[in-house]
């Protein structure tokens, strides 16, 4: 949890800085930029100048496409000012950019706040080179449009209209595995035995001041997830990018259940990750409020 909180704290601090500066008469430089990357990915960056807040500088790169994404959160080997971003990602690449203002303001809004955020409509110039692990994506550019989209999207998050317990006809299987410097999570949900299976997995790892958080999501047919909530057993046969199969069994209310089998998944930049030995819980679940269930808190 600490690694995820680190990323969120950096983002929150950057967003607060943007909102405060947007109230000034002059349009500030946007705290990030965007670029197209290879293999269908888009890059959205968010930088934080920590000096005015007596905090360390930070840079977050998000490579995303439908169904998968990777966050790189760097807090070492970088320098961020109001108009420059310099960062060294080691073997992955580097960023060396300076903002070139246009003198023309641009306004953007978050999904849940009508108040506009005013920024300069200029661009970053210099060099950015980055190649993701296992070649999942690559970007090489000398100019990047400034943007605030990633920061604005973090102002609010949509609520989940779901619940657990009661007489909910579906099930949710939540699993996790931890080790020194990382953790793996898998969540499998289905509204009823005949409905589609929705799977989401994530892995977070930290090394030398760089936090990398990868995620994938996909939808499978009803046969991808069989469950018996009273018996606390489940069977997983999910589609690609998952491979293999696994069974879940919980023998005691006092201890988490355990996953057995040969289930693996290919994350962007981190392939063949095994879920064997993951532990967790199987509960009744539904994402529609018309069923009687205990609301999830």
Q: What is the pLDDT of residues 199-239, one digit of tens each?
A: 999 999 988 789 999 999 999 999 999 999 999 999 999 99
Our count of domains for the chain comes to 2
Residue 251 lies in a domain: yes
Residue linked to tokens 């990915």: 41
pLDDT band at 155 (very low <50, low <70, confident <90, very high): low
Q: Which of 153, 171, 187 is the last residue of a domain?
A: 153
Q: Could you give the percent of the chain with pLDDT greater than 70? A: 80
Task: Give yes or no for residue 18 having a pLDDT over 60.
Answer: no
Q: Tokens 């047919």 appear where?
A: 221
Rounded Cα distance, 146 and 112, in Å: 22
Task: Say if residues 246 and 263 touch (Cβ distance below 8 Å).
Answer: yes
Cα three-residue angle 22-23-24, rounded to 5 degrees: 90
Strand order of the β-sheet with 264-267 is 242-243, 264-267, 270-274
Q: Are residues 8 and 118 in the same domain?
A: yes
Statement to judge: residues 173 and 80 lie in one domain:
no
pLDDT mean across residues, the chain: 85
Residues 167 and 273 in one domain: yes
Give residue 138's domain range. 2-153
Q: Is residue 170 part of a domain?
A: yes
Q: Is residue 52 part of a domain?
A: yes
SS3 118: strand
Same domain, 186 and 136: no
Is residue 158, in this structure, part of any structural domain at all? no
What's the CA gap between 83 and 81, in Å, rounded? 5
CA distance 105 to 118: 6
Using CA atoms, how far apart are residues 35 and 82, in angstroms rounded to an integer? 20
Boundary residue ending a domain (153, 175, 193): 153
* Alpha-carbon gap, residue 62 to 99, rounded angstroms: 20
For residue 25, is it within any domain?
A: yes
Residue 77 lies in a domain: yes
State whether 92 and 184 are in the same domain: no
Range name among 12-26, 50-64, 145-159, 235-249 with the lowest pLDDT average: 12-26
């Amino acid at each position: 949890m600490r690694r995820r909180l680190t990323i969120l704290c950096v983002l929150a601090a950057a967003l607060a800085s943007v909102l405060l500066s947007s109230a000034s008469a002059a349009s500030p430089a946007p705290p990030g930029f965007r670029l197209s990357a290879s293999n269908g990915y888009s890059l959205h960056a968010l930088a934080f100048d920590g000096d005015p807040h007596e905090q360390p500088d930070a840079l977050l790169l998000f490579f995303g496409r439908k169904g998968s994404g990777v966050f790189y959160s760097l807090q070492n080997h970088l320098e961020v000012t109001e108009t420059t971003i310099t960062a060294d990602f080691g073997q992955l690449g580097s960023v060396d950019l300076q903002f070139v203002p246009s003198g023309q303001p641009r306004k953007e809004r978050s999904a849940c706040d009508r108040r506009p955020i005013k920024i300069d409509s200029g661009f970053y110039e210099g060099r950015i080179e980055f190649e993701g692990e296992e070649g999942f994506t690559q970007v090489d550019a000398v100019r990047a449009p400034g943007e605030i989209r990633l920061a604005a999207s973090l102002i609010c998050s949509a609520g989940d209209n779901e619940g657990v317990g009661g007489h909910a006809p579906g099930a949710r299987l939540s699993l996790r595995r931890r080790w020194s410097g990382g953790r793996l999570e898998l969540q499998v949900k289905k509204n009823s035995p005949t409905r589609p299976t929705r799977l989401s997995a994530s892995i977070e790892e930290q090394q030398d001041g760089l936090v990398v958080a990868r995620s994938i999501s996909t939808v499978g047919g009803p046969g991808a997830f069989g469950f018996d909530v009273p018996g606390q057993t489940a069977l997983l046969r999910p589609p690609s990018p998952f491979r293999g199969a696994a069974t879940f069994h919980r023998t005691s209310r006092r201890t988490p259940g355990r996953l057995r089998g040969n289930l693996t998944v290919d994350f962007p930049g981190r392939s063949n990750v095994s879920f064997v030995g993951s532990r967790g819980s199987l509960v009744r679940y539904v994402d529609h409020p018309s069923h009687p269930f205990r609301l999830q808190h």
